[in-house]
Amino acid sequence: MNEFTLIQRCFQGWDITHPNVLQSIGDDCLVWSGSQPLVVSADTAVAGRHFPEWASPEQVAQRAFLPAVSDLAAMTATPAFFTLALTLPPATSEDWLTRFALRLRALAETYGIMLAGGDTTAGATLTLTLSVHGTCPHPVLRSGARSGDQIWVTGQLGQSAAALPYILEKREADAPRSWSEAYWNPQPPVLFASQLQGCIHSAIDLSDGLIGDAAHLARASECDLAIHLDRLPLENDLKQREDEGLKLALAGGDDYQLLFTADPVAEREIVALAAQAQVSVTKIGEVQAGKGDIRWYDSGLERQLPWQSFTHF
């Protein structure tokens, strides 16, 4: 099977298109013509690093695609198109590729994003780089937090990190199903985020864990963040683990939920939009004047954290 046959069979003719993509797969470049600002992020997933070598093709598609579109949510962008750079081990079967492409296609449809270009190469390690593009009249940056803002997070934290040892040891059945779901099939709140336009001041996606990502937002905004550990959205199984659960929620990474800040007057609208989008939201703290530090509180008392954020490299 040569490169062209393979690509055509698996990756062309998908249903989802975009009116601003004037030329898609099949030329040297795709062509985009649109008047709105475009936000762009490149995200790589490597076998043995971002997912186990033995992951199913469907799981690989999920672990590559969902963290990538999470970056669009972080800008409150609406997904538009993506390119897929796929490096496949020589032994990859047509069956593997067909299943991978089918799952990717379903994900692209769910998130309303068009596959518009890519590159397929051979290499020893399965490696996927998605370059996702979204539209947004006014992209929300990490740097927009203002003193007095409330700090919000979506979803629940720490489940994906809690699942990881069970997954690596191939005993997922011993862990709550919600944990392995959070790892294999994270749910970045892309639609909800796109509705937050004009309603929030700053946002970042939680990929490295709250400690690291909150620090990025605080430094970019040149504000301090006061975060209340007892308000973090942890499910019961993790809450019962006390500090161990807290560490997973704060430093585990791989949540692909959204951290954002907004004026308190926006609270009612945020809660209404979240309910409509069936996304849970939790107020976890307040933005304060400062130089970019985080202060952690537990039952109202300041607490020093002994943990550091996850680093991908």
List residues forming the annotated binding site: 28, 41, 43, 50, 71, 118-119, 142, 205, 207-208, 254, 310
Distance CA 291, CA 113 (A): 38
Distance CA 70, CA 50 (A): 15
Question: For residues 33 and 278, which CB has a smaller minimum distance to its own copies in the complex?
Answer: 33
Alpha carbon separation from 177 to 163, 173, 239, 240 (Å, rounded): 9, 7, 16, 17
Distance CA 40, CA 75 (A): 10
Question: For residues 28 and 174, which CB has a smaller minimum distance to its own copies in the complex?
Answer: 28
Whose structure tokens read 């307040």?
A: 286
Output the known binding site for substrate. 50, 254, 310
**Measured over all CA atoms, what is the biggest interatomic distance in the chain, rounded to whole angstroms?**
64
Q: Concatenate the DSSP letters of all residues of 168-233 into one string.
A: HTT-GGGS-HHHHHHHHS----HHHHHHTTTT-SEEEEESS-HHHHHHHHHHHHTEEEEEEGGGS-
Q: Do strands 150-154 and 281-289 pair parallel, antiparallel, or not at all (unpaired)? A: antiparallel
Q: Please state the closest distance from residue 85 (CB atom) to its own copies, in A.
A: 4
Distance CA 129, CA 174 (A): 32
Output the known binding site for ATP. 118-119, 142, 207
Q: Please state the closest distance from residue 98 (CB atom) to its own copies, in A.
A: 16
Distance CA 171, CA 156 (A): 22
Q: Please state the closest distance from residue 182 (CB atom) to its own copies, in A.
A: 20
Output the known binding site for Mg(2+). 28, 41, 43, 71, 119, 205, 208
Question: For residues 222 and 244, which CB has a smaller minimum distance to its own copies in the complex?
Answer: 222
Q: Please state the closest distance from residue 243 (CB atom) to its own copies, in A.
A: 24
Q: Please state the closest distance from residue 7 (CB atom) to its own copies, in A.
A: 9
Question: For residues 297 and 310, which CB has a smaller minimum distance to its own copies in the complex?
Answer: 310
| 70 Cβ neighbours under 8 A, 6+ residues apart | 186, 188, 190, 205, 207, 256
Question: For residues 50 and 103, which CB has a smaller minimum distance to its own copies in the complex?
Answer: 50
Q: Please state the closest distance from residue 1 (CB atom) to its own copies, in A.
A: 9
Distance CA 233, CA 270 (A): 17
The pair phi, psi for residue 281, each rounded to 5°, is -130, 145
Question: For residues 118 and 245, which CB has a smaller minimum distance to its own copies in the complex?
Answer: 118
Q: Do strands 257-262 and 150-154 pair parallel, antiparallel, or not at all (unpaired)? A: antiparallel
Kindly list the residues in this chain that would bind its own copies in the complex (CB under 8 A).
2-4, 6, 22-23, 26-33, 35, 37-50, 70-72, 74-75, 77, 83-85, 87-88, 116-125, 127, 129, 131-134, 136, 139, 141-143, 203-205, 220, 311-313
| 286 Cβ neighbours under 8 A, 6+ residues apart | 148, 149, 150, 151, 225, 226
Q: Please state the closest distance from residue 178 (CB atom) to its own copies, in A.
A: 25
Question: For residues 31 and 275, which CB has a smaller minimum distance to its own copies in the complex?
Answer: 31
